[in-house]
Every structure is written in structure tokens, then in C-alpha cells.
Amino acid sequence: MKWSPALFAIVAREALRFVHQRERFVAALVRPLVWLLVFAAGFRAALGLSITPPYQTYITYETYIVPGLCGMVLLFNGMQSSLSLVYDREMGSMRLLLTSPLPRWWLLTAKLIGSSLISIAQVYAFLLIAAAFGITLPPMGYVAAFPALLLAGFMLGALGLALSSFIKQLENFAGIMNFVIFPMFFLSSALYPLWKMAESSRLLHDICAANPFTHAVELIRFALYGELNLAALGWTLLATTLFGAAALWGYDPARGMMQSRK
Amino acid sequence: MTLSVSNLSFSYGTKTALKGVSFTLAPSFSALLGPNGAGKSTLFALLTRLFTAPGAHIEIAGHDLNANPRRALAALGVVFQQPTLDLDLTVRQNLKYFAALHGLRGADASHRIDAALSRLDMRERAHEKVRKLNGGHRRRTEIARVLLHEPQVLLLDEPTVGLDAASRAAITDHVHGLAEDGMTVLWATHLTDEISDNDHLLILHQGQFIADGRAGDVANGRSLKDYFLAVTGDNAA
């Protein structure tokens, strides 16, 4: 039996679902744009940034938070597309997927590829609008960022998939907002550089440095300037592997939490 | 035997759902009758390997579900109780998606989709969005879909829930027709009027089978409904 038709079909289905949910696309764009155009404008005056790699000149705060906001798009999408599985309506389609005679790791990977590509399309839409407001990056950076965005999308999608298999009931999205998305986003280098964080609290700095989202953001940040941050790549790969393994474990029919939802 | 199950037990924590269930099915229409909560959905989840039970042996079309899950699943078609169609896609797009999950695409998939839709009298609705279809046609779409990979064993979990009498009768007839063509059908229900005297009948009650035989013989002169109420003490039938 051929494996490739399932991959293309799953990716195409994610894309179609996305096209049908225009409000989701708008929300995904408005969210980082509000941060960029409102929050960052206000913060620019308050926060001075010294020159640290990958930046070679003094940069504005808006420029600093662009990679973090790319990460935010991936974070929200990764959680949203995977956690929609928790709802019953989506559980039906998951059942359909899992009764296909293909290895589960392949089916889950196909789902991750699909949701990551959708997220990346949104990231580029965001970057385009940011550019229209004058916040531009080196041209090659837009290309170099693609693999970084893909890996970060995988990492966050795998986390969402793992969570969707362990969380029995989810009344709404708020629980995940409060306990996963907000801590991951705020305790990272998305909004403030780690050295700045260290000035106020060593503990906060250490938490941020251990947060996989920080490394995903740094990977994207360096890639946007055509550079490879090896340490960030290593940590992001490690986290992707761990989250992926947790997702596979969660959807294993012998041990998984599917059992709690007959 | 195209479906054989032995020694199947399952518990949700301390709550036992199935107690050492064993049965075999040959190509025919078999009805799995049981009141709500009897263990039907648990049995289906185990047969479709959504989860597994240690110590049990399940064989589908000669393939051990534990040892060779992909071959076993390839011979199995499932219509879940919950609808699993994508409402924003057309009937045809839904079928194409499913075909791809079974490794089918291109002209082969197209040909099978046409044949399955014709069989269920759904050909003219192929390009309608599922959201626009009524409950009966949605179910028919799901049954057409499950025929695409030509499964030997077909499982249907209360497929007529929420449908009007005419749609229920049409779907019951369609599936009886599939069984007559040589498919092994297991039809879970809590409605006795969907079962005819010549069907193979399994009655599941409190996680155990309390009847296994030809429906007419099991009822033994009484109406199946009366018999079912008497043995299960249930008024849902």
C-alpha cells in the first residue's frame, strides 16, 4: 500500500479546513500585528536594546519582536489545530484517521506537516504586512527562515498533539491559554532579550533559557538574518523529539489516553 | 470465519465494560443488540484498534489485529456512531480523502468512488457539500465511503441514530444487500425493528453475550422486542 496519498490528502485537508475558516486566519494575523503596531510602539521608548547577535546595528524594539511574533503565530496555531482534536466533532475525524491501515507515526507526522505548513503561510502573511509598515528583514532572511519555521512549527504542533492526547476534557481554549500558551510566550525571549531578563531576575532568566519556545524563537531570529544558531537548533530538535515521542505515546492504542474517551 | 474474537475483556478503571467476550462471524448480516451502556461502543473501539486489550485475540479476515494491525485494518470498514464527515467538503471530496487514507488515488480512486456512490444512490449528490445533506444522506455517504477499499468486514455502530423511519429502512436495506453480496456485517443497534428473523443475532448485556444465534430462533416465537425486554429488563427498545 502506498503511503504518499495519505500525506497529500491530510495536508490538503488541513489547507481546505483553513481556507474555510477565514476568521481563524484574520485572528491569526491580527494578534501579532496588535503586538507589533501597538505594544511595541509603546515599548520602544521604555526599552533600550544594545547590539547583540544576530543584529549588527542598533535596532528598534519592533524589529526585535518580529521573530517572537512569528513564533507566536506558530504557537497559537500548533495548539489550536491539535487541540481542536479534543472536541468530539474532531475526535470523529481522528478516529477515521487512526483506523487507516498506515503506521500511526506516519499519520501523526502527516498531520503535523499539514498544520505546520498552514502556520507558516500565516507567518509569511504577517511578515508581509510588517514589511508594509516598514519593518523589513534582509531579503535572504525570508528564505532562510523557512526551515527554522518548519522545525518550530513541528515542535509546537507535536506539543499540541501530545496535549490533545492527555487532556481528557477541554471545556474551552482558556485552560491552554493560561497554562501553556501564556507561560511559554511570556517566559521566553520573544518579547525581551534574555540578558535584559537577567538584569531583573536570575531565576526568570533561567526559566526563560530552559523554555523550548525561547530556542525556537532564537532559531527563527538568527535564520531571519541568514545565520544558524546551532545551540537553538539543537534544543529545538531535542524538544521536537520529546514532544513527538509523547504524542506517539499518547496515541498508542495499548497505553494511550484514547481509552478515557470511548 | 472472517471475524473472530476470543477472550475479550476490558475495564475503564474499576468499571468493567466487557467480560471475556468471544464470538465468530461468517459473511452475513449480524446484529449486535444491546441496551445503552451494554459495551457495544467499547467492543467497536477494540475491534478498530482505537485501543487494545491485553490477552484478547481478534482476527479480521485471517489477520491478527495485534500482530498485524495494518493488514487487519485494511480488511475492515467502519461506520462510527459519531459522524466523521467533513461538513465543508463535498461528498466526493470526503470520499477522495478517505480513499487516500487507504492508499488509493487517481483513476482507480475515482472509479471506486463512482461505483460506491451509485450503489448507495448518491451519485447525483456527489458535488454537494455535506453540510447541505440531510441526516439520511450523510449516513449513506459514510456507507459509500466505507466501501471504497472493498473491506471484507464491515462494522456499523448504531448507524441509524437520529434518522427518520424512511431513511432508517433504506439504510438497513442497503446494508442487508451488502451482506447478501458476501460481506461480513456487524450492525450494532438498540432497536429490535432493524433485525429480521434470518439475521445472525448477538445480544450484549452488561459486558457479556446472553444470546448468539439466528434471530428467529433466539426469539423463539415471541417478538424480538418482547424477548429483548424480558432478558435485559430494559425499556429502551
Q: Strand, coil or helix: what is B129?
A: strand
CA distance A32 to chain B (A): 28
Final residue before a domain boundary, out of B95, B127, B150: B150
Interface of B with A (CB under 8 A): 12, 17, 41-42, 45, 48-52, 54, 69-74, 76, 78, 80, 82-84, 86, 88-89, 93, 96-105
pLDDT value, residue A168: 62
In angstroms, how far is CA A197 from the centroid of its own chain? 22
Quick one: DSSP state of residue A256?
S
Asked whether residue B176 is domain-assigned, the answer is no
The arithmetic mean of pLDDT across residues B14-40, rounded, is 91
Q: Identify whether B171 is part of a domain.
A: no
Instruction: Count CA within 13 A, CB hemisphere, residue B218.
Output: 26
Same domain, B65 and B89: no
Q: What is the pLDDT of residue A74?
A: 95
Spell out, as residue ranges, where chain A has pLDDT lower than 70: 45-50, 83, 85-91, 168-174, 255-262
Asked whether residue B206 falls in the same domain as residue B232, the answer is: yes
pLDDT of residue A257: 46
Chain A residues near residue B72 by CB distance under 8 angstroms: 101
Q: What's the number of domains chain B is made of? A: 2
Clarify whether residues B102 and B136 are in a common domain.
yes
Residue B13's closest chain A neighbor by CA? A260
Q: Which of A4, A259, A260, A261 to mutate to test the interface with B (most CBs of B within 10 A)?
A: A259
Q: What is the pLDDT of residue A223?
A: 96
Domain span at residue B129 reads: 82-150
Residue B175 lies in a domain: no
- Pair B129, B158 in one domain: no
Q: How far apart are CA A64 and CA B113, in angstroms?
A: 52
Is B118 in the same domain as B223? no
Are residues B1 and B71 located together in one domain of the fold? yes
Is residue B15 over pLDDT 80? yes
**Contact list, A253 vs chain B (CB under 8 Å):** 49-52
- Which one is predicted more confidently, A151 or B86? A151
Find the closest chain B residue to A88 by CA distance. B82
Q: What is the pLDDT averaged over residues B114-132?
A: 93
Nearest by CB: B42 against A16, A93, A262: A262
Tell me the residue type at A47: L
Q: B59 or A198: which carries more pLDDT confidence?
A: B59
Residue B90 is classified by DSSP as B
B156-209: pLDDT as tens digits? 999 998 888 888 998 999 999 999 999 999 999 988 989 999 999 999 999 999
**Which residues on adjacent β-strands are paired with residue B204?**
B209
Is B205 among the domain residues? yes
Q: Which residue has the higher pLDDT, A50 or B222?
A: B222
pLDDT confidence of residue B234: 53
B111 and B71 share a domain? no
Q: For residue B201, is it within any domain?
A: yes
**Main-chain phi, psi angles of B40, to 5 degrees:** -65, -45
Omega prior to B27 cis, within 30 of 0 = no
B91, B125 contact by CB (below 8 A): yes
Is B172 inside a domain boundary? Answer: no
Which residue, among A95, A104, A106, would best test binding to B if mutated, counting the most B CBs under 10 Å from its CB?
Answer: A95
> Is position B179 within any domain?
no
Contacts of A106 in chain B (CB under 8 A): none
Using a CB-CB cut-off of 8 Å, the residues of chain B touching A16 are 86, 88-89, 93
B100 and B64 in a single domain? The answer is no
Asked if B158 and B56 sit in the same domain, the reply is yes
> Is the pLDDT assigned to residue B88 strictly greater than 60?
yes
Q: Does B98 contact A96 at a Cβ distance shorter than 8 Å?
A: yes
Q: Quick check: is B51 in a domain?
A: yes
- Do B159 and B123 fall within a single domain? no
